[in-house]
Amino acid sequence: MKIVNSVVFIVSTLLLLAGCNNAGSSGKVESPTVKNADNSKDSIALTKLVRQMYEWHEKIDHPLDFDVETNKPSDTLYSGINWDAYNKLLNTIVKSNYFDQQFITNYAAIATHIDSELQNGIKTWQVGELSPFGDDTNPWCNCQDTPQDNFWDILRITDLKIINDQATFSWTWGGGFMYKVKASGNNGIWKISYLEGFDPKNYK
């Protein structure tokens, strides 16, 4: 059953990736173009993107990002990713249209890594215990709590750099808290390509 679920996951992920980013490429190589993003329309657009993304995420009905399951109800160790729950959430993420292919690729890489580690016994995760992957914070913000309801309303971005429509920046809600983000642009439309909490290196 695990093999069938994994095959379904791989096929569905490939289909989702194919539809996630339809932007074409002319093949023309150009020198990097660096924008001065201070007070630019890109800064405004990226702030709006981040705020809308967090409002969307807060309001969707979703399971844990990388929900796991046991082979049998009586088992005391998780055996791998719950692919049904994962694929449902991945489909919701893709359909939101806030994320580009790179984010989806990273997200899928984390899921397959966790599943492989548990199935092969490289790491063990006891039922009811904290995950041995990542840390005990919410990866969407690397936090355990937010400063207020509707926290996205107070988010602002800083340290914005844009090179060839690839943006890097951090968002903050104040108090010295920072969270790194990357985004890709196409014809003025920005999508999130990286969130610090979903860096595959964090789950090794």
Structural domain contains residue 25:
no
Strand duo 177-186 + 34-35: pairing: unpaired
**Tens digits of per-residue pLDDT, 83-122?**
999 999 999 999 999 999 999 999 999 999 999 999 999 9
Structural domain contains residue 57:
yes
Phi, psi at 144, each rounded to 5°? -105, -15
| Structural domain total, the chain | 1
Structural domain contains residue 193:
yes
Structural domain contains residue 113:
yes
**Tens digits of per-residue pLDDT, 149-176?**
999 999 999 999 999 999 999 999 999 9
Residues 6+ apart with CB under 8 A from 38: 160
What is the mean predicted confidence (pLDDT) over 129-158? 95
> 182 lies in which domain range?
2-19+33-203
The one-letter code for the residue type at 61 is D
3-state secondary structure of 95: helix
**Tens digits of per-residue pLDDT, 16-63?**
544 544 444 444 445 455 555 444 899 999 999 999 999 999 998 766
pLDDT of residue 31: 44
Res. 4: pLDDT tops 90: no
Structural domain contains residue 125:
yes
Structural domain contains residue 167:
yes
pLDDT of residue 22: 47
Structural domain contains residue 96:
yes
Structural domain contains residue 101:
yes
